[in-house]
Amino acid sequence: MRPTSHTDIISYVRAHSGHSHVILIDPDDASPDVAAQRCIAAVAAGSKMIFVGGSSGTDEDNVHPTVVAIQEALELCKWNSSQDAGLSENAWEVPVVLFPQGAAALSPSADAITFMMLMNSTNPEFLVGEQVRGAPYIRKAGVEPMGMGYVICAPGGKAGEVGQAKLIEADQTDLVAAYAMCAESYGFSILYLEAGSGAETPVHPNLIRAARAASDKLVLLVGGGIRDGATAKAARDAGADWIVTGNLCEEFSNAHELQTTLETFIKELES
Ligand code: 1GP
């Protein structure tokens, strides 16, 4: 099921840096079928990556069937495109990436994993404990690890609570820059600035600018509380390479409506 053209997913992530959208699927929120429908709508609208995970309520029993359903749906769309000369098969070769709450929320059918250190957690379990537990599984399954520094900014939401994070406030630009330098020094490929799912305010653009200025090597992901294209574009203009949205995609029961909304969102993000 795994897309063969993405053996080195991090090259793909770098190649699409600058103005790309990630759809985040929470297996605790949607059945595998609904998740797959949302992903098809998102990819048709121009999303370039799919994350599967959530801060609570996820384990292999819901993560794995969700990943499988998404991979199967993408394969089917790719096959359909191959039968129609007017559509691009490549458009469906989008990596499905684990964004796990811990070592129990994995799937061998994913293409890659954000192998994260929750850098501002006060609990060593989120710095390295869960990662040590999950590493043998990831190695055996052949899921590509992408080293990622995960930094939670205010307001932080459930991710901040569950991850016991010492939140970064909007004016702590020197601190976020230091985290970026630290992530780069560890050799991570990605830095994710997170405001928390459903956050009332997204990561402040000044924090994004400071992280960007501190490292031009890291791929910068930003998510949490981004609900419209203008906010996404502001994050992009501040230096974000990829914008992650979860809640935005959960508001629609109708896949066509979701696709239309995301088309507008992505057009604005790319403008
Ligand atoms: C959460 O940053 C993501 O990890 C997405 O947040 O659900 O607010 O889009 P939203």
Q: pLDDT tens, 7-31?
A: 589 999 999 999 899 999 999 999 9
- pLDDT for res 71: 97
Contact yes or no for 176/166 (Cβ under 8 A): no
- pLDDT for res 1: 46
Closest CA to 45 of 252, 197, 221: 252
- How far is it, in rounded angstroms, from Cα 39 to Cα 22? 10
Distance 194 CA to ligand 1 centre (A): 8
Q: Tell me, what amino acid is at 13?
A: V
Mean pLDDT of 138-154: 96
| Ligand 1 nearest-atom number relative to CA 159 | 4
SS3 172: coil
- Count other C-beta atoms under 10 Å from residue 12's C-beta: 20
245 touches ligand 1 (CB under 6 Å): yes
223 touches ligand 1 (CB under 6 Å): yes
Counting ligand 1 atoms within 8 A of each CB, the residue from 226, 242, 248 with the most, and so the one to mutate, is 226
- pLDDT for res 51: 98
- pLDDT for res 54: 85
Taking CA atoms only, the protein residue closest to ligand 1 atom 1 is 197
Mean pLDDT of 110-121: 97
- Sign (positive or negative) of CA dihedral 159, 28, 265, 45: positive
| Peptide bond between residue 155 and the one before it cis (omega within 30 degrees of 0) | yes
Q: Given pLDDT bands bounded at 50, 70 and 90, which one contains residue 184?
A: very high
- How far is it, in rounded angstroms, from Cα 146 to Cα 26? 20
Mean pLDDT of 205-212: 98
Which residue's entry shows tokens 């079928």? 33
- pLDDT for res 253: 74
Closest CA to 214 of 206, 225, 203: 206
- pLDDT for res 87: 65
Distance 223 CA to ligand 1 centre (A): 5
**4 CB-near residues (< 8 Å, 6+ apart):** none
CA within 13 Å, CB half, 10: 18
- How far is it, in rounded angstroms, from Cα 36 to Cα 41? 9
Residue 252 has pLDDT above 90, yes or no: no
- Sign (positive or negative) of CA dihedral 184, 185, 187, 191: negative
Topology of the domain comprising 9-251: TIM Barrel (3.20.20)
197 touches ligand 1 (CB under 6 Å): yes
224 touches ligand 1 (CB under 6 Å): yes
- How far is it, in rounded angstroms, from Cα 162 to Cα 261? 31
Closest CA to 148 of 176, 183, 122: 183
- How far is it, in rounded angstroms, from Cα 107 to Cα 87? 30
- Tell me the whole-structure pTM to 2 decimals: 0.95
